[in-house]
Structure 1
Amino acid sequence: MSQFPTGFATPASIVDALKAEAGDSPKARASFARGRCVRGTYVPSGRAEEITRSLSFTRPSRVLARFSVGGGNPKVADADKLVLRGFSFRLGAVDQRSDILTQSAPVHYARTLDQMLAFLKARTPGPNGGPDLENVRAFSVANPETLHQASYIAAHPPRGSFAGTTYWGVHSFPATNSRGETRFIKFKVVPVGGNVTLTEEEARMKPADFLHDDLENRIRAGDIRFSVMALLDRPGDPTMDVTIRWPNEDRCEEVRLGTIVITGIEPNEACDAIMFDPANLTEGIGHPPDEIFAARHAACTISFAKRR
C-alpha cells in the first residue's frame, strides 16, 4: 500500500517530484531528460491490419523520434546502468499521428499515481545531497512491486547502443483491427541487428557520451532499423497493473506491425519543440485502462510547459 492516502497524488505533484528527485533542472524534461532527436521512416508489414486499423500503423509515413537516457538529470552519464534507455517516436501523416513512448524495461516502477509519488518522495535528496536510505528500504519493503523494474535492469547486462536495445511500451493498448475485432496488445520495439550489450567492466570504461556518439556513428555509416511488434494478449492477462508482465510474456504470440528506419540526426530543437504525447493515438489504437497512463497526458503537458 502507498504511504499516501488515495487521491493525494496529481499529475502536477508527480512532475514536481520527478524534478525534485533529479535535482530540479528548470529547463529539462521531468523524465528522460537527456536525449538525441532523429528522423526516419515507417513501413507497415502485410499483417498490420490484422491487429489494428490505425492509419498510423497501416500506412507508410515519416518518423520523428528521440532516443534518451532515463531520469530527469540532463547530465546523467550514458554508462549509468541503473537508469532506463528510452525511445519515443511519432509516426503517421498530419491527420493520423500517433506518439508511442517505449523504454528498455517491460514494466513501470509504480502501479498507481499515489504509489509513484511516494516512490519519488522516498528518493528525493535530503540536505546531504542523497536520499534517506532507511526511507527507501522501508518503502520498498512495504511496496515490493516497485522493485520489479530495478530487478529487471539489474538482471540484464548494460546496453551498448541505442540502436541495439529492445524497448517496451509497458501499457496494455486496446487495438481494433480492420474487421472490428478488439484485443489488448503491448508494443515491443526490437533492433533488427540484435541487442548490443556490454560487460560491467566495459560499461565502466565507456565515456559519458558513448551512447550518443555510437548513435551518430551508426547513422553516418548507414540506417538503423527496428521491428515494431505487437504482443497479443490471452484471456486473463492483466491490463491494469504496469508493474507486472503478462504471464509468459516472452513466449506470447507477436505480430510485426512494421519497420522503423532511422536515417538521420535531427537538431534536438525539433524534438524539444513538440511533446511526445502518449494520449495522441489514431483510431484503431485505444487508451490503456491503467491509472498511470490516465495521468501521463496531463503530466507531459505540465512538464512541456515548464521547460518552455
Structure 2
Amino acid sequence: MIRPTLALALASLSLPLAAQTPAATPIDFIDAFRALSGEHKGVRKGHAKGVCAEGEFVASELAHQRFAGPLFSGQAIPAQLRFSMAGGNPHVPDNTRSPRGLAAQFQLPDGSLHHIATLTTPVFGAKDPDSFLGLLRAQRPGPEGKPDAERVAAYRAAHPDTRPQAEWLASNPPPWSYATATYHGLHTFYLETRQGEKRKVRWHLQPQDREKGLSTAEMAEAPADFLAQRLAERLRQGPVRFDWIMVFGEAEDSDDDPSRPWPAARPVLKIGTLSIRQSGGEACTPINFDPNVMSAGFSAGNDPILRMRSPVYAVSFGQRLSGQ
C-alpha cells in the first residue's frame, strides 16, 4: 500500500508545471521591478522617469451623439497627464529602445474620474500576469549588470506571447519627442451606446504632429534627458494635440489577451481631441494612474493583465507615498 503522503507527492509530479507554480501576486511584480531597475525609494516602481503635463479633452460631436458616458459630454474636460519612460529606473536614458507611456486623469463634469494608461507599442509584453512575471524574472541582470541574452531568448521561445512587443520595438525607432508618438490603450474595453448596446473597443491616441522616430545617428548621440525639454519647447509653439481613435472589435477579436493585435481593417471613429497645453510641475505626482478607474459608460474586458494593474499600482502607490 502506498502511504497517503507518498501518494500526494507522486500525484504532484504528474501535474503540469503551471499547476505547481503559484500564481503571480502584486508583490511579485514589485520585487521583479526592483530586481530589474534597482532600489529607488519614493518613486514609481514602473514608469519611474516622467514629466507632468496639463490639458483637456473635448469629445467629437459624433461621439457625443453615439455614446452615453460623461466623457462624451462635448465640454472641455480638464486632464492631468504624465508622459514617461518604461521601467523603474528614474535615470534611464531617453534614447533607450523601450516603450514610452502617456497616462491621464480626466475630471468629468459630474465629479467622477476617468483614467487611461498607454504605451507606444500596439501590444503588451505578455498575455497574462504569469507570463509577464516570468519574462521580468528572465530579464533580471546577472553579476555583470546585464540580462542573460540566452536565458531571455529561451523564455521568449517557450512563451510566444512575449515576442510581438519585443519584435515591434526592435523594428521601430524610439520616438523623437513625446509629441510624435502614437499611444495605445492596449486593453479591450466595452463602451455603452445611447441605445444601451455595449461595443467592444480598443483605442489609441494619434499625434496631430505626426509620428517621428529617432534616426540611427540620433539614437547614438541624443542626450540622456531630451524628451521633457523637447516637449516644453514644442508647447511654447502652441498646444500638442492627439486624435483619440476608437477601434471597434468583432465577436472573434480577443478581449482577454493584450499581446494579440486585432486585424487592421476594423472600423474606427475619432471620438475627440486631447490637447496638451503645458508641461512640468508636480500636479501629476500624487496621482495613481489606474486604468481600471472608469467613468460611466465604460467597462473592462476579460483581460487578466488589466485586472492585475489595480493591486500592483496600489502597492507601488503606497510604497511611494511612504518613501519606500
* TM-score with structure 2 setting the length: 0.89
State the 4+ residue runs in structure 1 displaced beyond 6 angstroms.
1-4
Matched with 1:161 is 177
1:75-118: CA deviations, max 9, x gaps?
011111x2111111111326221000111001111111111111
1:176 offset after TM fit, Å? 0.7
User: RMSD in angstroms over aligned alpha carbons?
Assistant: 1.8
Percent of aligned positions that are identical: 33
Task: Indicate conservation of the 8 Å contact 2:115/2:291, yes or no.
Answer: yes
1:8 offset after TM fit, Å? 2.4
For 2:228, what is the secondary structure of its paired residue?
A: helix
Which is higher, the Rg of structure 1 or of structure 2? 2
Q: Which residue of 114, 124, 129 maps to 1:113?
A: 129
Mapped to 2, the partners of 1:209 and 1:3 lie a distance apart of 42
1:2 offset after TM fit, Å? 8.2
Q: Which residue of 281, 285, 289 maps to 2:302?
A: 289
Q: Which residue of 213, 225, 233 maps to 1:197?
A: 213
Cα 1:67–1:2, aligned 2, differ >3 Å: closer, same or farther? farther
Q: Which residue of 257, 260, 264 maps to 2:278?
A: 264
Mapped to 1, the partners of 2:181 and 2:295 lie a distance apart of 26
For 1:234-249, list aligned pairs within 5 A.
Answer: 234-248=250-264
Amino acid of the residue matched to residue 279 of structure 1?
Answer: N
Mapped to 2, the partners of 1:112 and 1:229 lie a distance apart of 25
Task: Indicate conservation of the 8 Å contact 1:4/1:118, yes or no.
Answer: no
Amino acid of the residue matched to residue 34 of structure 1?
Answer: K
Q: Which residue of 16, 28, 51 maps to 1:36?
A: 51
Q: Which residue of 139, 143, 149 maps to 2:165?
A: 149
1:56-76: CA deviations, max 9, x gaps?
233421111011111111101
For 1:203-214, list aligned pairs within 5 A.
Answer: 203-214=219-230
Q: How many equivalent pairs are there?
A: 304
Q: Which residue of 192, 196, 199 maps to 1:180?
A: 196
1:54 offset after TM fit, Å? 1.9
Mapped to 2, the partners of 1:2 and 1:107 lie a distance apart of 27
Mapped to 1, the partners of 2:318 and 2:304 lie a distance apart of 22
Mapped to 1, the partners of 2:238 and 2:17 lie a distance apart of 48
Mapped to 1, the partners of 2:221 and 2:242 lie a distance apart of 27
Mapped to 2, the partners of 1:12 and 1:258 lie a distance apart of 37
Amino acid of the residue matched to residue 301 of structure 2?
Answer: P
- 167-176 or 93-102, which deviates more: 93-102
Q: Which residue of 223, 245, 251 maps to 1:229?
A: 245
Matched with 1:301 is 314
Cα 1:69–1:53, aligned 2, differ >3 Å: closer, same or farther? same
For structure 2, list consecutive stretches of 5 or more residues without a partner in the other structure. 1-15
Amino acid of the residue matched to residue 131 of structure 1?
Answer: P
* TM-score with structure 1 setting the length: 0.93
For 1:75-94, list aligned pairs within 5 A.
Answer: 75-80=91-96, 82-93=97-108
1:255 equivalent in alignment to 2:262? no
Q: Which residue of 56, 65, 70 maps to 2:81?
A: 65
Mapped to 1, the partners of 2:149 and 2:29 lie a distance apart of 21
Mapped to 2, the partners of 1:181 and 1:20 lie a distance apart of 45
For 1:271, what is the secondary structure of its paired residue?
A: coil
